[in-house]
Amino acid sequence: GRAGPSVTTADPLLGGLLSPDFDDRSCLSRYRAPLYRQPSLHNLSSHLVARLRRYESLHQLCGPGTPAYSRAVARLREAMDGHASAPAPAAASSNGASSDDPECSYIIWTPVEGLGNRILSTASAFLYALLTDRVLLVHHPADDLNDVFCEPFPGSNTTWVLPEKGFPIQGIKGLNVRTRESLGNALGRGRDPPAPWLYVHLQTDYKPDDRRFFCDDGQDSLRGVRWLVLRSDNYFVPGLFFLPRYEEELARLFPHRDTVFHHLGRYLFHPSNTVWGMATRYYSSYLAPAEERVGVQVREFKYARISADERYKQIISCASRESLLPAVKDATLPSSDSDHHQQQEQEQETKRKAVLVVSLNGDYYDKLSSLYYEHGAAGGHGAVTVSVFQPTHLGMQHSEKRQHNQKALAEIVLLSFSDVVVTSAQSTFGYVSQGLAGLRPWVLMLPADGKVPDPPCRLASTIEPCFMKAPHYDCRTRGHSDNGKLLPYIRQCQDVSYGVQLV
């Protein structure tokens, strides 16, 4: 097994993915996660590394706290007050960005739904920022995301959190599909004068005109708009691949297209010291002694109800079919003296497997741990002992609570330290773990009419998350089109028929 934090050969900068310019103590996880996680088997392009460094410079030039930021906010305020409804003066824009008075553009991400959804939409917004030379800011309207993540971009003079005080665009929380300033509604009206800011609505309830974000005319309309606000509950990265203008750059950034979230996720999402403390304490106490770690994430959705007994049957059936967990000895057979002797011998070379169960529900942990407590794992070629652990069973989702989100992230991180991952179909929580781990998970398929589906689980064909609510919009005819059939490297998701994913 991995010896945990004592291994010193792990590359703290992940092959150049991470900048070396951080104070280590402010965010212990940033350079230490590689000591716990399997090394990435997925090549990183030198172009992505170069683009990240360029982005970091841009953020240091334009981020909150900088003179350029103050000027950009002042210009936005003036434009909104009607003092200057036209875009910035032509002289400034034709000269492009200069370091004295750079022309900074922004995309403000704003949260919706659970942590998994939030992480995936943030990663998507960041890729969009890279492609369009925008600065990514995150809007934290409440306390629920404080002390969950570290700052992802270096520079003690700035931050990625939008300073809300005095910010001219008010009521960001209430922006929705009907908002006048949404791209979709602006496109629907046609011929609006250039706007000082626009709202991009990419949530599950988005309309055909909102989907024109993934079309040339949508992107043309956004081009000169210095401030965008985005709300999405989706991993919309695959949609960016539909835009011909980004095709070449995306191919250079990600020659292996199925690694977008893996790299961007490891780049962006570093748990805060509070969360990292939880994850590493748990790891050292329970998971580190094992030679192999199997993570099992069990998510239940109201629209796919199943009893705990049936769901447990599904987990066991998946684990035994795919040999993820050892079978148990037949407990009805009394052990003879020779069995006992054999057992003592085997203890010398026992392999320890730790099973990390992660769920809002404690039933699966109870059942699995009783199974191995009562029966023990069948020997086979070498004895195996199985220990089962579950950090929390919180019962209900409470994404508006900080401590709840901290625990959720600690569990996502712990899952990502596994050698084998089992996730639940249609769960963004699972997608994030598999992406950070860099592993194709075994996916517990959605229950069928409350029963174990057949097969109970499938090995995912990609480590990429699913864009669950794909646009399926034909930019030319403005009608329906099947996004799963347009490009060789984008297919219908295995676990969501409406969705598409990079493979």
Name the site residues for ligand GDP (rule: CB under 6 A): 113-117, 299, 358-360, 392, 394, 397, 399, 404, 407-408, 411, 427-429
Distance from C-alpha of 274 to C-alpha of 149, rounded to nearest angstrom:
9
Q: Cβ 284 to ligand GDP, closest distance in Å?
A: 19
394 vs 475 by CB, closer to ligand GDP: 394
First to last CA, the chain: 30
Q: Which is nearer to ligand GDP, 52 or 318 (CB)?
A: 318
Torsion over CA of 475, 477, 480 and 484, rounded to 10 degrees? -50
298 touches 357 (CB < 8 A): yes
Minimum distance between the CB of residue 387 and ligand GDP, rounded to whole angstroms? 19
Widest pairwise Cα distance in the chain: 92
Q: Is the peptide bond before 20 cis (omega within 30 degrees of 0)?
A: no
Q: How far is the CB of 198 from ligand GDP (least distance, A)?
A: 26
| DSSP label at residue 213 | G
Beta strands 500-502 and 490-492, pairing class: antiparallel
Nearer to ligand GDP, 181 or 411 (CB): 411
d(CA 437, CA 334): 42
Nearer to ligand GDP, 353 or 404 (CB): 404
* The amino acid at 53: R
In the complex, residue closest to ligand GDP by CB: 114
Given the complex with ligand GDP, which of 358 and 371 has the nearer CB atom?
358
SS (H, E, C) 124-190: HHHHHHHHHCCEEEECCCCCCCCCCECCCCCCCCCCCECCCCCCCCCCHHHCCCCCCCEHHHHHHHC
CB of 408 to ligand GDP, least distance (A): 4
- Rg of the chain over CA atoms, in angstroms? 25
Nearer to ligand GDP, 72 or 409 (CB): 409
Q: How far is the CB of 410 from ligand GDP (least distance, A)?
A: 8
DSSP state of 328: B
Give per-residue burial for 136-164: e unless 16+ CB within 10 Å, then b: bbbbbeeebbeebbbbbbbbeebbbbbee
Alpha carbon distance 93, 205 (integer Å): 36
Nearer to ligand GDP, 158 or 427 (CB): 427
Strand partners, 353: 292, 386
Cβ of residue 399: shortest distance to ligand GDP, in angstroms? 5
Rounded distance between C-alpha atoms, residue 118 and residue 148, angstroms: 12
Q: Are strands 420-424 and 442-444 parallel, antiparallel or unpaired?
A: parallel
Nearer to ligand GDP, 210 or 411 (CB): 411
Nearer to ligand GDP, 416 or 428 (CB): 428
CB of 361 to ligand GDP, least distance (A): 8
Instruction: Give the other-Cβ count within 10 Å of 503's Cβ.
Output: 17
Beta bridge partners of 492: 500
CB of 229 to ligand GDP, least distance (A): 20
- Please report how close the Cβ of residue 293 comes to ligand GDP at its closest, in angstroms: 16
Q: How far apart are CA 233 and CA 467, in angstroms?
A: 10
| Under 8 Å between Cβ of 114 and 425 | no
Q: How far is the CB of 358 from ligand GDP (least distance, A)?
A: 4
Name which of 278 and 502 has its Cβ closer to ligand GDP: 278
Name residue, tokens 């930021």.
69
> By C-beta, is 206 or 429 nearer to ligand GDP?
429
CB of 330 to ligand GDP, least distance (A): 32
